[in-house]
Amino acid sequence: MGGFNSILLRLDGFLGGSAWFPFILLGVGLFFTIYLRFPQVRFFSHAWAVVRGKYDKAGDPGDTSHFQALSTALSGTIGTGNIGGVGLAIYIGGPAALFWMWMTAFLGMATKMVEVSLSHKYRVKAANGTMSGGPMYYMEHGLKMHWLAMFFAIATVICSFGTGNLPQINNIATSVNASFGIAPIITGGVLAVLMGMVIIGGIKRIAHVAATIVPTMATIYLIGALSVIIMNFENIIPSFLSVFRDAFSGSAATGGFLGATFAFAFNRGVNRGLYSNEAGQGSAAIAHASARADEHVSEGMVSLLEPFIDTLIICTITGLVILSSGAWSSKFENEFQATDLLLLDGIYLEQSEDDRSLIGDYLGGATSNTVTLYSGSANVVNGVLVNPEFTILHARSFAEDVRFFNNEELYSGQIEIEEGVINNLEISLRGMSLLHSAALTTKAFGFGLFGENGQYIVTISLVLFAFSTALAWSYYGDRAIIYLIGFKAVLPYRILYCIAFFIASFIDTTLVWNIAAVAIVLMTVPNLLGIMLMRKEMKGLVKEYWDENKNK
C-alpha cells in the first residue's frame, strides 16, 4: 500500500496538486463570469424562483422536478467534502485555504451553470425511457468529439469510485467507529446492503431519497455547527481575519500547526473546493439532465445555487467551527496512520524555533540536505522508545506521548526502520498529534453547547451526507456505463459499486483521499475544455432564454 500511495502522490503532484490545475479551474470560472456578465449575481433570485416551480409547465420532458434534480445534485456534492474536505484543506493550508474554497465556489457558480445547461440541451432518451445526459453527450453531439466523450465517460466511472464511493464510506466508518465503537467492517456491510436496495431503483428512487435526506441532514448539521460557533463567538472575527489575512501569504505556525505556504493554501483550497462543490467536474450535469424542463438554461440557473449552498454556506460554517474552536492547531490522542507517519533521522525539538521552522519548510516541500528519513533499529520497552535516535512526525506535526503496540498490546523488543518506515506491519503507534479530515471536524464539534456529545451530530450528519453522495454518484457512474457499453453493464457496475463501498470502509483513510485527488482531475480537465469550446453557443442560449423570461 505504501508503494501505491507513493504513485498516487506523484500523480496528484502532476494533476490536482500541480501549479497549473488551480489556475485552469479558476480561469475558466472567471472567464464565464465575465463572458456571461456575472450570472451568479444576475440570475441568483431567478434561480430560486425556478426551483420553487414558478416556471414549471405540464408535460415538460424529464424524470424529476427541478427541486429533486437540485437535491440529487446536492446530495452528490454535500458529503465528506463539507466535513472531511474542509478539515483536510485547513490542516494542510491553514485558514487561508478557506478563502480559496470560497473563490472556487463563487467562480464555480458560473461554470456549473454552463456545464448543466449544455448537458441538458444534448441529453437523450435512453432505451428504458429515462433521460441520459452529461458532458459526454454535448461532447459527442455538440462538439462532434467522440474521443473526448469516451475519455470523459471512462473518467466518470473511475471517479464514481474514486470520489463518490470510497471516501464517503471510509469517512462514515471511521466516524461511526470513533463515536459508537462499531467496527468499520460492520458499518460498511450494513450500508452496502442499503446502498444496493436504493440504487437498484434508479434515478427516481435516488431522487426521492435525496429530496428527503438533504433538508434533514442540513438542518441537523447546522444546529450542531452553530452550537460551536456560539460558544466560541469571541473567535469568529479573528477566524475571519485569519482567512483573509493569510490568503496571499500563507498561514504562520501556531500551536501544533507548523505553518503553510501560499502555494499550499491556494492549491489545497481550490482542490478541496472542487471536491466539495464539483463545479467544473461535470458530475452534477448528469443529475440535472433528468430534470423536467424544455428550457435548458432554466436548469442551468438551478445548478448555480449548488456551489452557493454547498461551499459558501455549509463549508464556511464547517470552517468556522474548526477555526473558532481552535481544534485545527491542537493535538489530540489518536491512532497513527502509516501514510501520515514520518520518522526523521536525528532529534528535532518542537520547542526550538529553528527546528520548527526547518521541519515546517520540509513539510512544505522545501529541499533540505539536513532533514532525512531514518533508517536503522530502535529498542522499545513497554511501548516506549529507549534512547531514540529519530523524531516522530504524524499528521504534519511533532508527535507526543507516542506508544508502540502489537495487536493492541504494548510492545517490547526491537523494531527495524527503513527510509522512515517501520518494517513490521503489525506494529502500530498511538499518541498526540494534529488531526485532519472528518476526525478534525468531529473533534471541533466537541467544543460547543453539546460538549463531547457534539461528535454524535457530526457522525449522524456524516452518515447522511456521505451516504447520499454515494447514491448520487452511483447514478452518475451508471449513466456513464450506459453511454460506454449499454444497459447490459449497469447491473454488474452496481454490484461492483456496492462491493467497493464495503471494502473501502476498512482501508487507510489517507490512501482513499489520495485516490480521490487523482480521480477528480480526470473528469474536470476534459469538461473544462469542452465548455470552453462551446462558449459561443452557451452565450446564445443564455441571451435567448433571458430575453424570453426576464419580465415574467
Based on the domain organization, do 259 and 213 belong to the same domain?
yes
The pLDDT, as a whole number, for residue 498 is: 93
Residue-averaged pLDDT of the chain: 86
CA dist., res. 474 & res. 82, Å (int):
19
The residues, any chain, with a CB within 8 Å of residue 198's CB and separated by 6 or more, are 205, 206, 209, 471
Q: How confident is residue 63, by pLDDT bands cut at 50, 70 and 90?
A: low
Q: How confident is residue 434, by pLDDT bands cut at 50, 70 and 90?
A: very high
Q: What does the pLDDT look like over 302-349, one tens digit per residue?
A: 889 988 988 888 889 999 999 999 999 999 999 998 888 999 999 999
Based on the domain organization, do 404 and 543 belong to the same domain?
no
CA dist., res. 521 & res. 125, Å (int):
28
What's the alpha-carbon Rg for the chain, to the nearest Å?
Answer: 23
Identity at 466, one-letter amino acid code = A
In a domain, 438, yes or no: no
Q: How confident is residue 35, by pLDDT bands cut at 50, 70 and 90?
A: very high
pLDDT at 519 over 90: no
Q: Angle CA(22)–CA(27)–CA(31) in degrees, nearest 5?
A: 160
CA distances from 417 to 373, 382, 398, 409 (A): 10, 18, 18, 20
Domain boundary among 399, 433, 467: 433
Average pLDDT over residues 358-367: 82
Q: How confident is residue 244, by pLDDT bands cut at 50, 70 and 90?
A: very high
pLDDT at 413 over 90: yes
Based on the domain organization, do 416 and 460 belong to the same domain?
no
Q: Give percent above pLDDT 90 in the chain.
A: 41
Domain boundary among 377, 398, 433: 433
Based on the domain organization, do 344 and 493 belong to the same domain?
no
Q: How confident is residue 206, by pLDDT bands cut at 50, 70 and 90?
A: confident
Q: For residues 93 and 258, is the Cβ–Cβ distance under 8 A? A: no
Domain boundary among 433, 460, 480: 433
The pLDDT, as a whole number, for residue 124 is: 87
pLDDT at 91 over 70: yes
3 state SS of 59? coil
Based on the domain organization, do 307 and 383 belong to the same domain?
no
Based on the domain organization, do 244 and 172 belong to the same domain?
yes
Based on the domain organization, do 39 and 66 belong to the same domain?
yes
Average pLDDT over residues 210-223: 79
In a domain, 66, yes or no: yes
Helices and strands per DSSP (H, E), number in the chain: 25, 13
Identity at 429, one-letter amino acid code = L
Query: C-alpha cell of 11?
Result: 500523480
Average pLDDT over residues 438-455: 88
The number of angstroms, rounded, from the C-alpha of 218 to the middle of its chain's C-alpha atoms is: 17
CA dist., res. 354 & res. 333, Å (int):
26
Q: For residues 512 and 436, is the Cβ–Cβ distance under 8 A? A: no
In a domain, 371, yes or no: yes
Pinpoint the alpha helices (H) of 53-125. 66-77, 80, 86-93, 96-121
Tally of domains in the chain: 2
pLDDT at 533 over 90: yes
The pLDDT, as a whole number, for residue 348 is: 95
Based on the domain organization, do 110 and 23 belong to the same domain?
yes
State the residue range of the domain holding 340. 333-433
Based on the domain organization, do 135 and 281 belong to the same domain?
yes
The pLDDT, as a whole number, for residue 21 is: 82
The pLDDT, as a whole number, for residue 121 is: 92
The pLDDT, as a whole number, for residue 17 is: 62
CA dist., res. 530 & res. 538, Å (int):
11
The pLDDT, as a whole number, for residue 508 is: 66
Based on the domain organization, do 209 and 66 belong to the same domain?
yes
Q: How confident is residue 504, by pLDDT bands cut at 50, 70 and 90?
A: confident
CA dist., res. 251 & res. 243, Å (int):
9
CA dist., res. 371 & res. 358, Å (int):
8
Q: How confident is residue 534, by pLDDT bands cut at 50, 70 and 90?
A: very high
For the ranges 216-225, 226-235, 399-408, the lowest mean pLDDT is seen at 216-225
Identity at 489, one-letter amino acid code = A
Average pLDDT over residues 192-212: 79
CA dist., res. 302 & res. 410, Å (int):
56
In a domain, 341, yes or no: yes
Based on the domain organization, do 326 and 341 belong to the same domain?
no
For the ranges 63-67, 266-270, 538-542, the lowest mean pLDDT is seen at 63-67
Q: Give percent above pLDDT 70 in the chain.
A: 92
In a domain, 473, yes or no: yes
Phi-psi region of 345 (alpha: psi -120 to 50; beta: other; left: phi over 0): beta
Full-model pTM: 0.83
Residue 294: CATH number of its domain: 1.20.1740
CA dist., res. 156 & res. 208, Å (int):
23
pLDDT at 395 over 90: yes
Query: C-alpha cell of 54?
Result: 414558478
Q: What does the pLDDT look like over 6-26, one tens digit per residue?
A: 777 677 666 766 678 888 888
Based on the domain organization, do 425 and 535 belong to the same domain?
no
In a domain, 396, yes or no: yes
Query: C-alpha cell of 230?
Result: 456560539
Give the dihedral sign, CA 278/282/287/292. Answer: positive
